[in-house]
Amino acid sequence: MNALVPLVVVGDALLDQDLSGRADRLAPDAPVPVVQGARPVARPGGAALAAYFAALDGRDVTLITALGDGEAARTVRRLLEDRVRIVELPLDGQLSRKTRVLAGGVPVLRLDDGDGRASGTTEEAIAAVEAAPAILVADYGRGAAEALRDVLTRTAARVPVVWDPHLRGSRPVRGVRLVTPSAAEAREFAAGLRTGPGAAAVPDEVRVGTHAGFRGPADDARELVRAWGVTSVAVTLGGEGALLSHGGDPLVLSTARNVRGDACGAGDCFAATAAGLLADGELPETAVQEAVRAATRYVEAGGAGALRIGTTPSATARPVEPPPTETGPDPFALAGRVREGGGTVVAAGGCFDLLHAGHVALLQAARRIGDCLVVCVNSDASVRRRKGGSRPLVPAADRIQVLLALGCVDAVAVFDEDTPEHVLGSLRPHVWAKGGDYALAELPEAALVRSWGGEVVLLPYLDGRSTTRLAERAARGPAADALRPARRR
């Protein structure tokens, strides 16, 4: 295996903090939640988080940033020690610190303090950029990229540079290999091109398909490639993936499944992954696709709230391992996080062979009951024992992928037994939801769910929807159905 190419990260470090607790009531003197039991967790933020992500695979990473003095700066240095080499720029003011207050895992407030900016450069920093085999610029608009702009311009002409921009920061230097704005940032940057100095030189191409006047990320990316003089722009689209443009028709790189969760830091994960792969010689298309997957896994695993950054090298193991393709997010870890945050865990179960409208209605209703829905699915062997040798019609891996594509499903757990008692004992959901074609007396798992204080809920099924009937109709073929007399309605 070839060694990973070292990476230099240039940008503005921050200190990110979370105060996580629970909120069960509103304050008596104002309509605001009362957060109890808040526990502080600190992590590197901004360019420091991007450098941390780049170092997780064992890559040699140098971070060029301004830290200054003070408690926030000392904390960032401690969090990155033994992982990232830091080359410091002078800082005017105090390092920026962002503190999120979360209740049940949901942000309810953010507190910002510190307005420090990089106030110059050093010979050591210039030398580190000139010697870099690859560079990631994580520009958070606090002066580091601007302080090194001249040397970045020279270096971008000969080594791969990825620029993760900020609306308050500098425009990328010419020759950058890849720029990674969010859709909202790309929209604002492109609008600035059309209204700011030199706007007349930017073509006003506002037609997409037959819809005159509509502008989308593809238009914005194309304009930015041309105006900035960069090789490509990857517009991140949140849970939908990313759009890659070289100035012409774009390539859309989608996520494999719908993902919801704490997306704080996902952009840094995306940019660090793309920069590392470009450093290793991958094409932009491959780098962006892998960056989409890495950011998706990061959000699936809990995002910033799940990062646990210790102070010893042994704690540097990657916190987000790719989940097996066939199973998606870890259902037990998800249930644990929701339960710990005071949320309600809902589980539903079945074979879900030939997913139909009755299944979808049941799952949507189940998800509305709580804060996450874990679907317990019979394995192929379990389906065969229950339904006969001709079933399942769809193998478990495919059934799981279809379920994960539903917006109401957060995770899937597979069980091999005839009934789901074992997997339920591990999940311990607050609510176990079943279709209305069951009676409580027919559910052997009902007593188990009640043993830990959970409840069983029977939800109405749509009439006439059945996998067995669908299979029978498919076996008959359309001609047989055409000969059947129409039923009165």
User: Whole-angstrom Cα distance, residue 184 to residue 199?
Assistant: 20
Taking each helix axis from N to C end, the angle separating 149-156 and 123-130, rounded to the nearest 10 degrees, works out to 10
Secondary structure, 3-state, 269-328:
HHHHHHHHHHHCCCCHHHHHHHHHHHHHHHHHCCHHHHCCCCCCHHHHCCCCCCCCCCCC
User: Whole-angstrom Cα distance, residue 161 to residue 227?
Assistant: 17
Which amino acids are annotated catalytic? 268
Give every strand in the sheet of 85-89, ordered side by side.
Answer: 85-89, 61-66, 7-11, 135-138, 161-164, 178-179, 233-236, 242-245, 251-253
Bridging pattern class, strands 178-179 and 161-164: parallel
Q: How many CA atoms lie within 13 A of 434 on its CB side?
A: 19
Q: How many CA atoms lie within 13 A of 218 on its CB side?
A: 12
**Amino acid at position 318, single letter:** R
**Amino acid at position 323, single letter:** P
User: Whole-angstrom Cα distance, residue 104 to residue 21?
Assistant: 6
Give the tokens for residue 348: 């539903």
User: Whole-angstrom Cα distance, residue 128 to residue 119?
Assistant: 18
**Amino acid at position 246, single letter:** H
User: Whole-angstrom Cα distance, residue 136 to residue 274?
Assistant: 9
Question: What is the longest distance spanned by two Cα atoms in the chain?
Answer: 87
